[in-house]
Amino acid sequence: MNAEVITAGTELLLGDVIDTNAPYLSGKLSQCGIDVYYRTTVGDNKERLVRALETAAGRSNLIIITGGLGPTVDDITRYAVSEFAKKNLVRNEKSLLKIRGFFDVRGIKMPESNIIQSMFPEGSLILENRNGTAPGFITEGKGVIIAALPGVPWEMEEMFQNALMPVLEKKGIAGRGALVSRTVEIAGVSESLVNDRIKDLFEKSINPSIAVLAAPEKITIRATAKAETVKKAADMADELITRLAAMFPDNIYGINGEKPQQALGRIFTNKNMTISTAESCTAGMIAAALTEIPGSTAYYMGGINSYSNESKTDILGVKSEVIEKYGAVSGQCAEEMAESCARLFKTDAAVSVTGIAGPGGGSREKPVGLVFMGFYVNGKTDVMKFNFPGSRDIIRRQASSNAIFEMVKRVRG
């Protein structure tokens, strides 16, 4: 069984709304043994949606459409499916009653335009919408199964899980196998080096398969296994990801989605240590990442956004002569910032960041992307120098994530 996901809505094509429905459905379908080979996005145009259905029917057994089930003139999914399947739209009185009830409990008279939401291709199985007014439906046409779900994500997800999935399982479409993925994230090495190191294993591994995904702050290696049961697929993926992780013992950014700040929090909690932050070019991004973890108040004592030179000297306590001699963006300043921060907050560890995020402010000696980090741990301080490429946002993201990652390496042992 293979499926195609069609997301309907001109707002998706214009970029006004980010499509989260297609990734959600692809993931859920793959987990229950249904392969998704194609995803299509179509605007609010009936003719184009009908053509998309025709194309999908030629290569898939199951088509899931999201969006276009509302009461307005641009909601054309039911019309397109009706034309494609050559079935008349008929009113479902039970659905109309539920839609009226949705308005009645709010003390609002139902607009006449909402009546269209009770109209479905003849013979359809209606899917209840517990979170809105737009019911979904399942019908068949030209040898394929078509399921139409609302476009609002929280309505779609609930309907898929509690209305559509039981039908697919009952029909024997879902549950014929399982697909499980595991990941290891790597930092501090290039994508090409990762490729060279895993090349032999990549070429030999078909099931589980291996994929490499690059991002500014990390490289993700994903192992995906397909088997008869979730447990068997999980065991296969776990075994491969363990082998892959062993190839990068000093560069593990996270395993199975764990963030470095989660690992750092666990380490600090276990060791009863505390940490503080002194940030210039990242201006609080490290502190925000550390404190997104529940329970971080036990180990994160506070931080200073020392963006100006005056805040570095007057509030943080960096010696003015250090800045005068070496500059605010220097290893010497980063070292002073980390040590001063640890003294100010009385913490076992402190991390500092100072750099040039751009787009202006750089020079030949100190270009945009130059970042110095100071790491103070139990009386010892070391400094690292980085030259990050990219835009201001990417430089700041890389700086904050690398600062946390490097601190994890220092306290992990």
CA distance 15 to 398: 26
CA dist., res. 112 & res. 219, Å (int): 53
Amino acid at site 114:
N
Superfamily of domain 2-170: MoaB/Mog-like domain (3.40.980.10)
Asked whether 275 and 300 are in contact (CB, 8 A), the reply is yes
Question: For residue 172, what pLDDT band results from cuts at 50, 70 and 90?
Answer: confident
Q: Which residues of the chain are in CATH 3.90.950.20 domains? A: 260-411
pLDDT value, residue 330: 98
Average pLDDT, the chain: 94
pLDDT in tens, 1-26: 799 999 999 999 999 999 999 999 99
Token pair of 187 as six digits: 């930092």
pLDDT at 178: 78
| Structure token pair of residue 294 | 């529940």
Give me the pLDDT at residue 412, please.
85
CATH code given to domain 260-411:
3.90.950.20
What the block records as the tokens of 151 is 């476009």
Q: Rounded distance, CA 304 to CA 344, Å?
A: 10
How much is the CA Rg of the chain, to the nearest whole Å? 27
Total residues belonging to the chain: 413
Q: Is the pLDDT of residue 174 over 80?
A: no
**CATH number belonging to domain 178-255:** 3.30.70.2860
- Nearest Cα neighbor of 283 from 299, 269, 304 is 304
Q: How far apart are CA 137 and CA 125, in angstroms?
A: 5
The set of residues, in sequence order, having a beta carbon less than 8 Å from that of 106 and lying 6+ positions away, is none
Q: Which helix (H) or strand (E) holds 159?
A: helix 153-159
- Under the banding of pLDDT at 50, 70 and 90, the label for residue 175 is low
pTM of the model: 0.69
Q: What are the pLDDT digits (tens) for 127-160? A: 999 998 999 999 999 999 999 999 999 999 999 9
Angstrom distance (rounded) from CA 365 to CA 377? 30
Strand partners, 186: 219, 252
Q: Considering Cα of 8, then 11, then 12, then 13, what sign does the dihedral take?
A: positive
Q: What is the mean pLDDT of residues 352-364?
A: 96
The pLDDT assigned to 373 comes to: 98
Q: What is the DSSP letter of 318?
A: -
Express each pLDDT in 280-313 by its tens digit. 999 999 999 999 999 999 999 999 999 999 999 9
DSSP letters along 364-403, please? SSS-TTEEEEEEEETTEEEEEEEE--S-HHHHHHHHHHHH
367: confidence class by pLDDT, cuts 50, 70, 90: very high
> Any residues with CB less than 8 A from the CB of 378 and at least 6 apart, and which?
348, 349
Q: What is the mean pLDDT of residues 354-381?
A: 96
CATH 3.30.70.2860 residue spans of the chain: 178-255
